[in-house]
Structure 1
Amino acid sequence: MSDHKTSNPKVFILFPDGVGLRNFAFTHFKEIGEQQGFDTTYWNNTIFSLQEELGYPELKIESTKIHPKTTVLSHARKRVELALSRKRTNDKVYTTYRFPLRWNNLKNILKSAFVTFHETFSATPQGWQKLMDQINTAERSTLRYQELKAQLEEHQPALVFCTTQRATQAIAPLLAAQDLGIKTACWIYSWDNLPKGMSTVETDYYFVWSELMKAQLLEYYPKTKSAQVFVTGTPQFEPHYDASLLLSRKQFSEAQGLDTNTKYICFSGDDQTTSPLDQYYLEDTAIAVRQLREEGRDLAIIYRKVPVDFSGRYDAVLAQYKDVIISIDPLWKPMGEQWNQVMPTKEDFALLVNTCYHSELVVNICSSMVFDFVIHDKPTIYPNYEQPQLQKGMRDIGQNYNYIHFRSMPDAAKSVTWAKSKSEIYDGIKGLLDGELNPVPVTKEWYGIVNKPEFPEEASKRIWEGINQITN
């Protein structure tokens, strides 16, 4: 270790948007890097000031203006990628990953026609490459690219590590680095991203959660070689292993206005795209809890909304069932007008950890919250039935469970407790509380497939070990 302590390689951690904050600003990631002798600068394209909020060294990216063509080219690239996957596997699931096209005005008609043309006629590896080249040419022609290149020339990092592969804002910074001969690496942000055609950038190295994700990366992006991929686990779950964040039952109850004697189940809300009728599943859970209370159980619901939902769609249910539902809102901060300008906070990690720890179980539509809870040995109920309010053009939540990332379950029937009808929410809660149902051992097995099973709390350390290999 000593020889590389003297050289202090300079690493730029690139935040093209706020999604990387949770993994790379609010965990111990930076401290671990410093202990290993790295000189870290946050290359920041977000409105969240890491300098002001956390005292971290940052270099602001002033211009966030991507090329006007990039968004539509990127949409075409995604559609082509999904068409390629569909052809290769003969699997219809890939069509369900497509964002709907808009045909409501001339500008949107032209964009949608462009995307459809490429989806139809460019769905070959060569067609895909051509679109990638067009995106790169467009981004290299911007003033922003020149500004980013100048920043890199001035600071000369050994590596630019990008915290998400999804953002079009990441294209120019990474191209600028590559054009200057600076090594680039990218973190694959979420467990479901690779099959969905979410990779907007190409880098020299990739960091993934699991062996499963590595296999997917090599399958969907055949240009990538095995030696370019580091399997590290994800920092996303590290706070759950930090005992110093845990509050006693009394402390948590006092802070959140809960009753120390009541047992709480958590209903973790979902975004409007994934679960457009989420509020009715909350209502069904509240009805089940009321029934269990009538049977003499001291039980209530903690409702944790998805941080980016400001729709007000739950308000009526929360008002009607306030006898059984307590809202504990995530501690995220709106930093601007758009949904993607709502930023997580470090405090929210502790709140999430304690919500999991002090709840008996979670009810949730198909999110990775299942893993947050199973780390604390808590089970999940996944509702999987249609609501009567479902209208044409709305996503049926059942579609979500057909996605590729759910095929990672070791035993689909037993990895979670399924509620295939409204009444089965009651059955599930009762069965789990009474110990008649226990999916936890299988859920843990699933968590070990999706994440790195050995020492999942050491993901940040392993990422730095990978960075060390690259920079040396």
Structure 2
Amino acid sequence: MKNNKIFILLPDGIGLRNFAYSDFYKIGKKEDFDIIFWNNTPFDLTELGFKEIKIKNSKSHPLTEIYKNARKQIELNLNIRRTKDTVYDTYRFPFSYATTTKAVKSLLTRLVSFTHSSKYGLNRIRKKIKQEERKTLYYHQCLETLQKEQPGMVFCTNQRPMTAIAPLLAAQDIGIPTATFIFSWDNLPKATMVVETDYYFVWSDLMKKELLFYYPYVQEEQVFVSGTPQFEAHFNQNKLSSKEEFFKQNNLDTNKKYICFSGDDITTSPDDPAYLEDAAKAVIELNSKGYNLGIIFRRCPVDFSNRYDTILEKYSSTIVSIDPIWKPLSSVWNTILPTKEDDSLLSNLGEHCEMVLNLGSSMVFDFICHKKVCAYFHYNQKIQLDKNWDLFKCYQYVHFRSMPNNNSVFWINSPDAIIAIIEKGMAKNSSVIEDAKNWFEIINQHPPQEASRRIWQGIKTIISKE
């Protein structure tokens, strides 16, 4: 008899949107799975009616962070050697020496990555991570939980957190199959794989090829192409309000049409407020020609800075700010958690805005779900906050190479071009919409609304094999 008890490991809050707020849980219950969230977030999932086991004292070994960071550096070094492509250097974060502790960690990371920068060295680091984690109290507490609960499988919602290593390792050590979901479309080229599991769930055939390329120890039969649940909400009519209701809820002018400006975090776009101002000036110019437009500003969910305040105040008659509905449970970015309500908000923005302006984010796919186009900013500001930052580096990243051609978005090559781009976007340009759909099909398995079902089908296959 198959063991249908499935542990959904939430090492951090990133997986909430995909696996707690989507239909993933409901579909799994219909398939007769006993679903328990193994919860390392501060969020109380019992409030949603879910069964959970809270993880306490999720403390990794002190050396694991050094080895994990060194592993990333080594993988990027090896990727450059294999491909002769220096784009992988752009995925490195600068080492910090701000405090004694940070300086020691940075020096040790550099030393370990320098002395182990080979396939053999990488394998040694992978083994060292497992050895150190097995020594921790955290690992032994996970082992105890698993021995008591005896789940048929542990499914991890995100391959990146260090706190996911011990629970998955404990499961593997007692013969429980494990799987992880690759969280984002750009993660694999960036060397963000921290965990090693028996199976992997990816967004697309393209991501499967990337996984097999960047991690040669993974075999093809270990990989399931499922798509991601993060886009499912866009196809759920119950999450959509009428235009009248949405406008009333958010104090919008029913006589206006709105352009969405989707903000980035300060690392990705330090000059984001200047791009918002450029968009506002273009909208004011369009309105002087007889249009009646406004901008809805949606900030990056983990950006609680005041860097936009001056622009929002200066253009208050043009820009309406509708903040993401996320809960900051502390000031640390990965404890700022999404809420179920934000899925509905994002879906309604896609449904009721004319288009979205952005700097290189996956919002292009959120909006194409509603047959709306995206325009990417494609110029640097004349006065830059960070002189070392270059917008064009963003579009050189490997995940942008998946774009089938340059017409999947509108490119805003200068502030003066914004007016014409908005006019084209509002005209519902069919060729750009079709090209954006094609890009979406490349990066995410279709139909997108079936991702959760495909994941459960994969889980069924795994536990029937085991």
- TM-score normalised per structure 2: 0.97
Corresponding residue to 2:173 among 166, 170, 179: 179
Amino acid at match of 2:289: E
Identity %: 49
Amino acid at match of 1:458: E
Q: Deviations over 1:17-50 (max 9, x none)?
A: 0000000000010111111111110000110111
Partner of 1:298: 292
Corresponding residue to 1:314 among 308, 333, 350: 308
What CA distance in whole angstroms lies between the structure 1 residues aligned with 2:427 and 2:379?
24
Contact 1:362 1:373 in 2 (8 A): yes
Q: Which segment is superposed worse, 386-395 or 168-177?
A: 386-395
Partner of 1:414: 407
Contact 1:44 1:60 in 2 (8 A): yes
Contact 1:390 1:396 in 2 (8 A): no
Partner of 2:419: 426
Partner of 1:89: 83
Partner of 1:131: 125
Partner of 1:470: 462
Amino acid at match of 1:278: D
How does 1:120-199 map onto structure 2 within 5 Å? 120-199=114-193
Corresponding residue to 2:10 among 8, 15, 37: 15
| Alpha-carbon distance, 1:329 to partner | 0.7
Contact 1:432 1:438 in 2 (8 A): no
Partner of 2:32: 37
| Alpha-carbon distance, 1:392 to partner | 5.2
| Alpha-carbon distance, 1:289 to partner | 0.4
Q: Deviations over 1:85-110 (max 9, x none)?
A: 00100001000000110133443333
What CA distance in whole angstroms lies between the structure 1 residues aligned with 2:162 and 2:126?
12
Partner of 1:461: 453
Contact 2:329 2:337 in 1 (8 A): yes
Q: Which segment is superposed worse, 365-374 or 334-343?
A: 334-343
What CA distance in whole angstroms lies between the structure 2 residues aligned with 1:324 and 1:438?
29
| Alpha-carbon distance, 1:240 to partner | 0.4
Q: Which segment is superposed worse, 130-139 or 187-196?
A: 130-139
Contact 1:207 1:232 in 2 (8 A): yes
Partner of 1:371: 365
| Alpha-carbon distance, 1:394 to partner | 4.0
Q: Deviations over 1:303-323 (max 9, x none)?
A: 011110011111110000111
Contact 1:273 1:395 in 2 (8 A): no
Cα distance 1:459–1:466, how it changes in 2: closer, same or farther (>3 A)? same
Q: Deviations over 1:210-254 (max 9, x none)?
A: 000000000000000000000011101000010111111110111
Cα distance 1:404–1:229, how it changes in 2: closer, same or farther (>3 A)? same
Corresponding residue to 1:440 among 428, 433, 439: 433
Contact 2:79 2:214 in 1 (8 A): yes
Q: Which segment is superposed worse, 20-29 or 108-117?
A: 108-117
Contact 2:160 2:193 in 1 (8 A): yes
Corresponding residue to 1:233 among 224, 227, 233: 227
Amino acid at match of 2:45: L
How does 1:95-110 map onto structure 2 within 5 Å? 95-110=89-104
Q: Which segment is superposed worse, 14-23 or 383-392?
A: 383-392
Contact 1:275 1:365 in 2 (8 A): yes
Contact 1:276 1:394 in 2 (8 A): no
Contact 2:264 2:300 in 1 (8 A): yes
| Alpha-carbon distance, 1:434 to partner | 3.7
Across the aligned residues of Structure 1 and Structure 2, the Cα RMSD in angstroms comes to 1.3
Contact 2:205 2:225 in 1 (8 A): yes
Contact 2:372 2:428 in 1 (8 A): no
Gaps of 5+ in 2: none
How does 1:5-84 map onto structure 2 within 5 Å? 7=2, 9-51=4-46, 53-84=47-78
What CA distance in whole angstroms lies between the structure 2 residues aligned with 1:427 and 1:100?
38
What CA distance in whole angstroms lies between the structure 2 residues aligned with 1:148 and 1:414?
49
What CA distance in whole angstroms lies between the structure 2 residues aligned with 1:57 and 1:112?
40
Contact 2:3 2:463 in 1 (8 A): no
Corresponding residue to 1:267 among 261, 266, 269: 261
Query: Which secondary structure state, in structure 1, belongs to the residue aligned with residue 53 of structure 2?
Result: strand
What CA distance in whole angstroms lies between the structure 2 residues aligned with 1:220 and 1:193?
11
Query: Which secondary structure state, in structure 2, belongs to the residue aligned with residue 439 of structure 1?
Result: helix
Amino acid at match of 2:19: F
- TM-score normalised per structure 1: 0.96
Contact 1:187 1:207 in 2 (8 A): yes
Gaps of 5+ in 1: none
Contact 1:379 1:438 in 2 (8 A): no
Contact 1:83 1:119 in 2 (8 A): no
Contact 1:80 1:118 in 2 (8 A): no
| Alpha-carbon distance, 1:393 to partner | 5.6
What CA distance in whole angstroms lies between the structure 2 residues aligned with 1:138 and 1:405?
33
Partner of 1:358: 352
Cα distance 1:8–1:33, how it changes in 2: closer, same or farther (>3 A)? farther
Contact 2:3 2:152 in 1 (8 A): no
| Alpha-carbon distance, 1:326 to partner | 0.3
Corresponding residue to 2:197 among 192, 203, 222: 203
Partner of 2:444: 451
What CA distance in whole angstroms lies between the structure 1 residues aligned with 2:271 and 2:449?
35
Query: Which secondary structure state, in structure 1, belongs to the residue aligned with residue 268 of structure 2?
Result: coil
Query: Which secondary structure state, in structure 1, belongs to the residue aligned with residue 180 of structure 2?
Result: strand
Aligned pair count? 464
